[in-house]
Structure 1
Amino acid sequence: MNVQDDVHDEGGRRLDQIRLTGVTATGYHGVFEHERRDGQTFVADVVVHVDTRRAAAGDDLVHTVDYGQAAQLVAAVLSGEPVDLIETVAERIAATVLALPGVQAVDVAVHKPQAPIPVPFGDVVVSIRRDRTKLPAAEPYRPATGQVRRSADTGLRPRTAALPLAAGPSSPPAPELPPPSAPAVPVPPAPLPVPGPPSPPLGAPAAPAPAAASTPAPDASRLGHDAGPDGVGAVVVGPAPSGAVPTGVMPAVAAGPDAAPDGARTELMAPVPDVVDGELVLDALDEPPAQPVRCVLALGSNVGPAQETLRQAVAELAATPGVEVVAVSPLARTAAVGPEQPDFLNAVVLARTTLAARDLLRAVHAVEQRHGRERVQRWGPRTLDVDIIVYGDTVAVTDDLELPHPRAHERAFVLQPWAQVDPEAQLPGLGGGPVAQLAATAPDRDGVRWMALDWLTAPVPAANPEPEGASAGEAHLP
């Protein structure tokens, strides 16, 4: 199929793609009686748009799309309930794939190479894209209960259950796929001991829990600021701060049949009915470091008395338990990007912290909220923006925190003030390097208008942005 335009996530980052081409099955779709009676070959190409970094970080199928399962679902739709139009088939495939966890958009092309057309032709193709803003005009295919299982994040290698292909009313029964051979059963890792009361159960267990399951589960409040409904925490993909512990995985929590979408079940080492992946994960970003860790915070404001807001924010950060402010950069005035809005005032704070990375994230969000921060419009004006740029040498990709900040290496309004206060600073991670050198080549370097040195103790002339005016460049990290 022709490659369509890239799809971007809410942060403006291009999503990755998983492609399935040439999925073929005999179907009974069409408006003519002989099409419904005799059937013909249908072919589907599918492009799934998803973020694959978390799966790659942990080398874990649970955090990406199982393309084997997806292919079977697509084939099931092709060979399933007959409809008149291949447009309907395409919508059903899109709805089915979009319902898989983690999928943010899907491209579907359905081919009907044996269409009853009375002139020579090569193929008939209907191609569509569906996402969360343009939902499919059909319901997803739902196999019978127990036909499809998703592997739980249990610390064990997942395996894929066979999916019998559904057949249409007029079609012969499709052959059942051979079951996979049973792998050797490894010993699961022991869960990490976590203080605090156990979390309430999600439902009655389907079978007696093993002895290890009696270990108290982590406090659900420590799963991250924006933890997803499955309760899965972060995945650390680089060096963790000194004293951090490796990822520990708690056993899957049994839940009732209403806790998961139809057809979605968890498979552990043997089929267990009515179990969903409700596991709790504690990772290194939740663990306080053994020694204070250096961190860099970027501050910005362009609503209200921006200089005073930044002054108060620095004082509140310094008063935060577990945070020691070491140095504060000059104040920079920088042009904004996006909708028309005033210039930003920006500064960088160097600090040491004994907080875990995710606890630091909660602390800076609390400072933002005290100053009325609202996340309404991307790249819009804001009373206060506080971003964690680096946390030691940690390189991590998680649902709620990415370290170092993924766009810091190209943002002069962060790099220039940072280089002023620490000329030898190094930005770790992909695209990193000497901060001063990165500042000199940053795409928005011309948007930094001026810097003031004594802004914490004295008013800076024209520090408060004028009510109107904007130009190219960027003055905050989205």
Structure 2
Amino acid sequence: MSDRISLLGVRATGYHGVLADEKRDGQEFVVDVVLHVDLAPAGATDDLARTINYAEVGADVVRRIEGPSLDLIESLAEQVATDALARDGVRAVEVTVHKPSAPVGVPFGDVAVTITRTRAVPVVIALGANLGDATATLQSAIDDLGDTLHEVRRAPFVSTEPVGGPDQPRYTNTVVVATTPLTPHELLARLHAVEARYGRVREVRWGARTLDLDLVQYGDPTAGTDVVSDEPSLTLPHPRAHERGFVLQPWSRVDPQAVLRVGERVVPVTELLAAVDTSDIEEV
């Protein structure tokens, strides 16, 4: 990721420091923010909504500088980074906080701390295939996702009968629990791109397929940070995951504490699994 938006030299007076006079008298702080984003959509459309409004980022920075007193500029940098990562489309951020009037006690030009933080949103992806060497295809697809996913944990492979559709071979399925720096739409586009590389076509509903990658959940329902969407291009959480044993069983194996939002409820996956038929599921 090489696209960046840099907002440098944001200045305001704050009351941060460990000394009493710093908290009483205040001093100027200067903050640099570098946002790592994908600028291609904005460049193609000339639409502000497809990029980051750096005036709003600057206002966030000033609010943090002028906010409650902190002992450390490291804490100030962390707050600024957290605000930036909360913005849709920001994959990573680099924040430098300068304290040019710091009480160092010797001649100096500048004192600064720099931190780098990356978005790490928990996601759950269900994978399935029933054409060719399905097990090899699923593992290869996970590998092909590369830096799309971090902290990847894969469930055991299971074999299941197809649900609906024409006569076809048994499926091999698994679930991946990971984190991602991407937005939901970006992640879904990556999943579709990997499917396409393996020859996935959508001509027959519930038909046989070389590879199926479903985004089941984006975010953490327990913390209330999961994305709920009924857009035609993005339905979250997956509308049928709660009734699919071939998703719930491997998911519960890789993350026994997993939960899934079902309507207004956040339900343990183990509870959902107990309510579905798993008699045809065999571990590969």
TM tier, shorter chain? 0.5 to 0.7
Paired amino acid for 2:43 = P
- Bigger strand fraction: 2
Other-structure match for 2:143? 315
Aligned mates of 1:440, 1:216 — CA distance in 2? 47
Change (3 A) 1:326 1:343: same
Aligned mates of 1:439, 1:410 — CA distance in 2? 8
Q: Summarize deviations over 1:56-104 as a string: whole Å, max 9, x none.
A: xxxxxxxxxxxxxxxxxxxxxxxxxxxxxxxxxxxxxxxxxxxxxxxxx
Aligned residues: 181
Other-structure match for 1:223? none
1:329-340 superposed matches below 5 A = 329-336=155-162, 337-340=164-167
RCO higher in structure (CA 8 A, sep ≥6): 2
1:26-425 superposed matches below 5 A = 196-197=42-43, 199=45, 216=48, 218=50, 243-245=85-87, 284=88, 288=91, 291-317=119-145, 319=146, 321-336=147-162, 337-392=164-219, 393-425=226-258
The answer (yes or no) to whether the contact 2:242–2:262 under 8 Å persists in 1 is no
Q: Which of structures 1 and 2 has the bigger CA Rg?
A: 1
Aligned mates of 1:390, 1:306 — CA distance in 2? 23
- Unaligned 5+ segments in structure 1 are 1-193, 201-214, 220-240, 246-283, 453-478
Q: Summarize deviations over 1:14-61 as a string: whole Å, max 9, x none.
A: xxxxxxxxxxxxxxxxxxxxxxxxxxxxxxxxxxxxxxxxxxxxxxxx
The answer (yes or no) to whether the contact 1:197–1:216 under 8 Å persists in 2 is no
The 3-state SS of whatever aligns with 1:397 is strand
Aligned mates of 1:242, 1:419 — CA distance in 2? 33
- 1:435 aligns to 2:269 (yes or no): yes
Per-residue deviation at 1:322? Answer: 3.7
The 3-state SS of whatever aligns with 2:209 is coil
Paired amino acid for 1:218 = R
The answer (yes or no) to whether the contact 1:302–1:344 under 8 Å persists in 2 is yes
Paired amino acid for 1:439 = L
Q: TM-score, normalised by structure 1?
A: 0.35
- Bigger helix fraction: 2
Aligned mates of 1:340, 1:434 — CA distance in 2? 33
The 3-state SS of whatever aligns with 2:140 is helix
Change (3 A) 1:294 1:339: same
CA RMSD in angstroms comes to 2.5
Change (3 A) 1:424 1:216: closer
Q: TM-score, normalised by structure 2?
A: 0.58
Other-structure match for 2:31? none
- Unaligned 5+ segments in structure 2 are 1-37, 52-82, 93-117, 220-225
Identity of aligned residues (%): 41
Change (3 A) 1:309 1:322: closer
Change (3 A) 1:216 1:432: closer
Change (3 A) 1:312 1:198: closer
